[in-house]
Amino acid sequence: MAKAPSKARGTRVRRQPDRGRYDRATIDAILDAALVAHVGYVDGGRPVVVPTLHARVGDELLIHGSAASRTLRALGGGIPVCVTVTLLDGLVLARSAFHHSVNYRSVVLYGEARAVEQPDEKLAALRALADRMVPGRWDSVRPPDRRELRATSILVLPIDQASAKMRSGPPSDDERDLDRDVWAGVLPLPVTVGEPRPDHLAEGLDVPCHVRDWQRPGLAGQDA
């Protein structure tokens, strides 16, 4: 297991350290597969956690920052955030209550978030967010006008204090429980893609490839 340097306290997985991973390939794959991130920040001494959309672009994570950006503006600079993404892959049903668990992949990322201010950088960030959500989408829709761009708030933070944690495979039962008359195993919970629901479209407008063939790499945990 390759271990990349981590810069700060808090980045090492302390609980069940055998589940920790620190290589960027693992971290990036989880960030890219997750559609929703949970952003935590401190507001008046109190923790706040908001769900948001995100996109990794190289060594940075972009997040829609409407909630935290108010705090950010109030402080006039970067604010410490913790961004956590979690993919649930399955339920792990053991022979004992104690060893029940879930199969999952998660990343915890610490950093100072800054607001994207320049219109050009903001436009590029919005494009990245749209194309992460649905690759190829940006080029087929109307781009934001100046007012929409102003109304959008995006935060960016470097990916340099990150760790991944994951569990996969069957339950880890105690030796003493293996002969019990209990069904044990994994119940996979894949996210699937439903039938696209068109919204009052003109006749003859087919479902485009970028919608029909949409899939998220690693979204459904194949190894659950």
Per CB under 8 A, contacts with a second copy among 94-153 are 94-98, 100, 102, 104, 106, 108, 110, 126-127, 130, 133-134, 137-138, 140-144, 148, 151-152
Phi, psi of 11 (to 5 degrees): -85, -20
CA dihedral 109, 114, 116, 117 (to 10 degrees): 180
Q: What angle do CA 62, 40, 21 make, to 5 degrees?
A: 75
Q: What is the total count of residues that contact a second copy (CB under 8 A)?
A: 93
Report yes or no: 130 and 138 within 8 Å, Cβ to Cβ: yes
184 binds a second copy (CB under 8 A): yes
Checking 42-48 for CB contacts under 8 A at 24+ apart, the result is: 42/79, 42/80, 43/71
Q: Which DSSP letter does residue 12 get? A: S
Q: Which of 76, 179, 203, 217 binds a second copy (CB under 8 A)?
A: 179
Residues 34-73 that bind a second copy (CB under 8 A): 35-36, 38-43, 45-51, 53, 66-67
Q: How far is the CB of 43 from a second copy (least distance, A)?
A: 7
Which CB atom, from 56 or from 103, has the smaller least distance to a second copy? 103
* Secondary structure (3-state) at 155: strand
Region near a second copy per CB under 8 A, out of 19-27, 55-63, 114-122, 166-174: 166-174
Shortest gap between Cβ of 59 and a second copy (angstroms)?
A: 21
